[in-house]
């Protein structure tokens, strides 16, 4: 019976580790954010350290229109990487139904989606009840995005790969701990069945 309780504790621990490492939150833009054409607008995020996201892509979409605007590819996801990006908008159609998608386009995994935000024309006056974020993040790279969605356009920027980014290093991440706990649970089940 003590073996069973230790197995249960191990499984509970693996679930906690998996949920803590799968943390990816977009902190800006928010629902009160207004971006403006002709200005630099900041995107910021927070992510887990042990989430195995080495890089990701950033795309922009709207609810009322089809298509995607490809912003940046292979943004570094390592723990010491910047967690912000500046976006300069040029002739992007105005609307209040924009979203940013943080994903890996290679295998289609969505990591996070921003809150709905507004993009204004260059000469528009921002709504005083909302937050205008036409300020750049210091030290963050700037990407210029122009025009609306176009399926033939490539990413506006592709960041270089990380040094030694292709080297496979074995680490105890949440998937490894989960697999080990599942194996231990199967073995303990077999032992209890035979006992």
The per-residue pLDDT of the chain, averaged, comes to: 81
End-to-end CA distance of the chain: 11
Domain ranges of the chain: 24-167
pTM beyond 0.85, yes or no: no
Q: What is the pLDDT of residue 19?
A: 47
Mean pLDDT of 163-186: 69
Question: By percentage, how much of the chain surpasses pLDDT 90?
Answer: 32
Q: Residue 9's pLDDT band (boundaries 50, 70, 90)?
A: low
Mean pLDDT of 101-127: 89
Q: What is the pLDDT of residue 13?
A: 47
* Paired sense of beta strands 95-104 and 117-120, if any: antiparallel
Lowest mean pLDDT among 42-46, 73-77, 84-88: 73-77
**Which residue, among 120, 115, 126, has the nearest Cα to 43 in the 3D structure?**
115
Check pLDDT > 80 for residue 3: no
SS3 76: strand
Backbone angles phi, psi at 61, to 5 degrees: -140, 170
| CATH of span 24-167 | 2.60.40
Dist CA 186 CA 11 (whole Å): 11
Neighbouring C-beta atoms of residue 114, cutoff 10 Å: 22
Sign of CA dihedral 48, 53, 58, 62: negative
Q: What is the pLDDT of residue 43?
A: 93
Spatial contact of 24 and 48, defined as CB atoms under 8 Å apart:
yes
Dist CA 189 CA 195 (whole Å): 10
Q: Residue 16's pLDDT band (boundaries 50, 70, 90)?
A: very low
Q: Residue 170's pLDDT band (boundaries 50, 70, 90)?
A: low
**Which residue, among 98, 109, 89, has the nearest Cα to 37 in the 3D structure?**
89
């Amino acid at each position: 019976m003590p073996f069973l309780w230790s197995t249960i504790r191990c499984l509970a621990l693996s679930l906690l580790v998996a949920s803590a490492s799968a943390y990816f939150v977009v902190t800006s833009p928010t629902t009160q954010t207004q971006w403006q054409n002709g200005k630099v607008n900041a995107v910021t995020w927070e992510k887990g350290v042990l989430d195995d996201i080495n890089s990701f892509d950033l795309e922009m979409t709207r609810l009322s229109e089809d298509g995607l605007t490809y912003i940046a590819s292979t943004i570094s996801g390592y723990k010491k990487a910047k967690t912000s990006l500046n976006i300069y908008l040029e002739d992007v159609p105005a609307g209040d139904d924009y979203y940013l998608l943080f994903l890996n386009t290679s295998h289609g995994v969505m990591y996070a989606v921003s809150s709905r935000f507004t993009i204004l024309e260059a000469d528009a006056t921002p709504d005083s009840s909302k937050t205008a974020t036409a300020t750049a993040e210091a030290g963050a790279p700037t990407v210029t995005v122009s025009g609306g969605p176009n399926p033939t356009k490539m990413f506006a920027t592709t960041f270089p790969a990380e040094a030694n980014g292709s080297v496979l290093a074995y680490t105890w991440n949440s998937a490894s701990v989960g697999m080990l706990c599942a194996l231990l649970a199967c073995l303990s089940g077999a032992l209890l069945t035979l006992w």
